[in-house]
Amino acid sequence: MYVAVKGGERAIDNAHAWLGEERRGDHDVSELSVAQIRKQLSLAVNRVMAEGSLYDPDLAALAIKQARGDMIEAIFLIRAYRTTLPRFAGSEPIATEKMACDRRISATFKDVPGGQILGPTFDYTHRLLDFKLAAEGGLTDAPEGDAQPGDVPHVLSFLDGEGLIQQEKQGAETPPDLTREPMELPANRPLRLQSLARGDEGFLLSLAYSTQRGYARNHAFVGELRIGDVPVEVDIPELGFAIEIGDITVTECETVNQFTGSKTEPAHFTRGYGLVFGMSERKAISMALVDRALRWEELGEDNLGAAAQDEEFVLSHCDNIQATGFLEHIKLPHYVDFQSELELVRKLRRDTMAGAGNTHAQEAAE
């Protein structure tokens, strides 16, 4: 006699035990420490913090270890943890002109006050596998210089002085919070930027790339890209002023985009904006390009029907945690649905065959 499959619970426990074993891998190889991940896979840690929307390098490193290096899984762990955290306060907006820059480049001006700083970049490295690293050798000391004192003004502020760049809207209203309120469409720019800042790097990269290839091209130059530490300040009502609670590393990108004017606006430059936790310049540049593409309506540009211009499309699909969950849910049992489809297909086939029989009979009669 048939006995229905039971034991889902034991199967799950066994699977998870196996997963733990696989995560650790061969015991002859020493175990990876969270500190090693944090210090030596820092760009992975940065990505997990950025898309996990939680600035905590230790937790991000732990998540990467737990996820066996699966970045989206690690981001997921951070997001789920983040949900449970109480919110004590909101910070003051960070002042990126006060950034202690590790890297700062402009593609639009040869030299700018504050100087260009190449910083620790992959740019201009020759992508040749370095076998010295495999031999665990090759510790090199970088030469040191003096940090630049004082604020580092934004490159785009020089264009602003000439009135050549679009004025950004100033407003006292509190921006909506994507993590506390349901997404409402059409969204405003603060909500869009929040969504992009935690959006999937690969998705934004491809969208940004598509704008460069002509799907809503917006002629972007990197006006400025800067990476470095900025202080975070929190206003303490009891004190009546804001105090610094720590530093975070962020990447900020402002693009300068050509704009030939529209029905309502004279020609001037416009901008796209990207701001991401950690050192994540590919993501920051992508974000700025997509932000700019999404601003077509506000600038009176034409809707070219490109994916990067479609706010609802971009915002509904840029979150990789939503995407991966829904994508992977199709491996859950669906046999009830499938059963109903099976019956329907069988019924339709029966009807069609019966129908075909009738038509033949009719034709013969005619």
Partner 1 sequence: MNDYNFAYLDEQTKRMIRRAILKGLAIPGYQVPFASREMPMPFGWGTGGVQVSAATLTPEDVFKVIDQGADDTTNAVSIRKFFQATAGVDTTEETDKATVIQTRHRIPEAALNEDQILVYQVPIPEPLRFLEPRETETRKMHSLEEYGLMHVKLYEDIARHGAIATAYAYPVKVEGRYVMDPSPIPKFDNPKMTMPAIQLFGAGREQRIYALPPYTEVVSLDFEDYPFEASKADHSCELCGADDSYLDEVIVDDQGGRIFVCSDTAYCASRQTALQDAAAAQHEEISA
Of residues 64, 156, 256, 321, which one binds partner 1 by CB under 8 A?
321
- Applying the rule CB under 8 A, the residues between 82 and 101 that interact with partner 1 are 82-84, 86
Of residues 130, 297, 343, 360, which one binds partner 1 by CB under 8 A?
343
| Residue type, position 1, single letter | M
298 binds partner 1 (CB under 8 A): no
CB-count burial class (<10 Å; 0-12, 13-18, 19+) for 73: middle
Cα distance between residue 366 and residue 353, in whole Å: 20
Bridge partner list, 229:
100, 249
Q: How many whole angstroms from its chain centre is CA 177? A: 16
DSSP 165: B
Cα distance between residue 34 and residue 31, in whole Å: 10
Among 109, 196, 124, which residue's Cα sits nearest to residue 154?
109
- Applying the rule CB under 8 A, the residues between 176 and 215 that interact with partner 1 are 179-186
Cα distance between residue 76 and residue 41, in whole Å: 18
322 binds partner 1 (CB under 8 A): yes
Stretch that binds partner 1, among 3-11, 39-47, 105-113, 132-140 (CB under 8 A): 3-11
The tokens describing 104, both together, are: 């700062």
Stretch that binds partner 1, among 91-99, 132-140, 267-275, 347-355 (CB under 8 A): 347-355
Phi, psi of 221 (to 5 degrees): -115, 145
DSSP 331: G
Of the two residues 7 and 240, which places its CB atom closer to partner 1 in the complex? 7
For the bound state, the minimum distance from the C-beta of residue 361 to partner 1, rounded and expressed in Å, comes to: 17
Of the two residues 36 and 352, which places its CB atom closer to partner 1 in the complex? 352
Of the two residues 133 and 332, which places its CB atom closer to partner 1 in the complex? 332
Bridge partner list, 155:
none
The tokens describing 145, both together, are: 């210089």
40 binds partner 1 (CB under 8 A): no
339 binds partner 1 (CB under 8 A): yes
Of residues 258, 352, 358, 361, which one binds partner 1 by CB under 8 A?
352
For the bound state, the minimum distance from the C-beta of residue 235 to partner 1, rounded and expressed in Å, comes to: 21
According to DSSP, the β-strands at 100-105 and 220-236 are antiparallel
For the bound state, the minimum distance from the C-beta of residue 132 to partner 1, rounded and expressed in Å, comes to: 41
The tokens describing 223, both together, are: 């006006």
38 binds partner 1 (CB under 8 A): no
Name the residues that contact partner 1, by CB under 8 A.
2, 4, 6-9, 11-12, 76, 79-80, 82-84, 86, 179-186, 312, 316, 321-322, 324-329, 332-337, 339-344, 347-348, 351-352, 355
